[in-house]
Structure 1
Amino acid sequence: MKLSADLTAFCDRLGHRFENPELLLRALTHPSFSSTGRGDNQRLEFLGDRVLGLVMAEALFEADPEAREGLLAPRYNALVRKETCAEVAREIDIGAVLKLGRSEMKTGGRRKEALLADAMEAVIAAIYRDAGFARAREVVRAHWGKRIGAVAEDARDAKTALQELAQARGEPPPGYREISRHGPDHQPLFTIEVRLATGESARAEAGSKRQAEQAAARTLLDRLAP
């Protein structure tokens, strides 16, 4: 089976040429596009999540032989979360080659974070099924490499860190409030404010409430840093 020029270019960006191109096509097929006799990428997504997890756990284990589980776990979570998978997916432009149904096409599916993250995991599984774990690990570490090296020593998310700061000061947990939402339904922007009981606050804007809350918490943490 010969791949199209777009898919061949994607394989170049990915860094893997498939012996079985059908695996790649399945990995790039969203459920909205599938029909009887045409499978989607959900099963591969399930498998790819586990392959990615093992690769990241092994990489972190090797990178810091002295780190305890309490430090390794948050670093791991930072590397395998949906936001990180979507970042990698954007870097190799998975969105350009996804097979989407009409409804997803109309609502900006090629830019949706969850959809991109799922496709990234499915592609990882496709590589694993096509060429084995060693090859999948090689490709994953090539794309995640800078993130593995840069992951914070304590990669707890900003909301957790801010809550712990408040607790250490004897204060109640921070409060989060949606200030505004604007933009089209398929690509909304949320502005969230976080406020401590003592009055310190910060705002941030992002494409999801979770991202905006994290960004606001990070901004406030930076302001409170000594």
Structure 2
Amino acid sequence: MWPEAREWLAGLGIKPQDDAIYVEALTHGSFGAKRDYERLEFLGDRVLGLSIADWLYERNSGQEGTLSQRLNALVSRQTCALVARQIGLPDHIRLGKQARDDGGAESDNILGDVVESLLGASFIERGFNQTRDLIRDIWEPIMSSDAGVSKHPKSALQEWAAGNERKPPEYEIITRRGPDHAAQFTVRVAIKNVGTTEATASNKREAEKAAAKAFMEKYA
């Protein structure tokens, strides 16, 4: 472990007992090392999801759909990358020259993956409780913000589907009744292998919005 990285980890409250696992967590595949962060990122992603879900359950009394909406926002690739920047992670990623020259140290995808791999390394070495405490510490500014709050229902449903590895939602007008000045549209939204919901409103856009909201409340 190089001194700058060790000092940086100490600032996060991490004092490595096994340098190798943290070196692995900070190493991108382009660096050419025998091991990179991908396996640790897989693990850290799950630790992050459980930690944030636990935190949301503790702090909120909202319905499942509302909690799911916030969870998806708080563990999204963009949020993970934001956290990575806030804690100074870009300076410590081991990248190959070409990847660094191409801006890899500022890539949302790479930063999001590496922050999760760091959590995976922490989980292996320090266990769940200390890693959960680390997550609460570095996610606190975002948790205290409005991330994932008041998002448009269609956007929230799209994110939920992507986050749960489902096909995108499909909207269909089922009926249109009444004269033009007082029309009523009924829209069905479906996600394959999950379910469907319907809603009626005075225009197609509002009916889609209501159907998406109903779907989140029922299935998310």
Structure 2-normalised TM-score?
0.68
Partner of 1:60: 56
> 1:115 and 1:152 mapped to 2: Cα distance?
21
Q: Give me the whole-angstrom Cα distance separating, in 1, the residues matched to 2:148 and 2:23.
A: 38
* Cα distance in structure 2, aligned partners of 1:119 and 1:110: 10
Q: Does 1:130 align with 2:163?
A: no
Counterpart amino acid of residue 30 in structure 1: H
Q: Give the aligned CA root-mean-square deviation in angstroms.
A: 2.5
Is contact 1:59–1:148 with CA below 8 Å preserved after alignment? no
Q: Which amino acid aligns with 1:82?
A: R
Aligned counterparts, 1:1-226, within 5 A: 3-35=1-33, 38-64=34-60, 66-151=61-146, 154-156=149-151, 160=155, 170-171=203-204
Provide Cα deviations, 1:93-112, integer angstroms capped at 9, x if missing partner: 11111111122012011111
Tell me which amino acid in the other structure corresponds to 1:76. L
Displacement after TM superposition at 1:7 (Å): 0.7
| CA separation of 1:152 and 1:82: change in aligned 2, threshold 3 A | closer
Matched residues, percent identical? 35
**Which digits, 9 at most, give the CA deviation of each residue in 1:24-44, with x for residues without a partner?**
100000011134xx2010000
Query: Aligned pairs, how many?
Result: 165
Q: 1:87 to 1:13 in 2, by over 3 A?
A: farther
Change in CA separation of 1:157 and 1:98 when aligned onto 2, cut-off 3 Å: farther
Q: Is the 8 A contact 1:13 1:92 kept in 2?
A: no
Contact 2:71 2:148 in 1 (8 A): no
Structure 1 residue identity aligned to 2:203: G
Mark the runs of 5 or more structure 1 residues left unpaired by the alignment: 174-226
Rounded to whole Å, the distance in 2 between the matches of 1:88 and 1:15 is 16
8 Å CA contact retained: 1:75, 1:154: yes
Q: 1:149 to 1:113 in 2, by over 3 A?
A: same
Change (3 A) 1:157 1:16: farther
Contact residue 60 and residue 72 of structure 1 kept, 8 A: yes
In the alignment, which residue of structure 1 is the partner of 2:192? none
CA distance in 2, matches of 1:88, 1:158: 25
SS of residue matched to 2:112 = helix
Larger Rg: 2
In structure 1, C-alpha distance between the alignment counterparts of 2:153 and 2:11, rounded to whole Å: 32
Report deviation, 1:126: 0.5
| CA–CA separation in structure 2 for the residues paired with 1:132 and 1:98 | 23
Indicate the residue corresponding to 2:196 in structure 1.
none
Q: Which runs of 5+ in 2 are unaligned?
A: 159-186, 188-200, 207-220
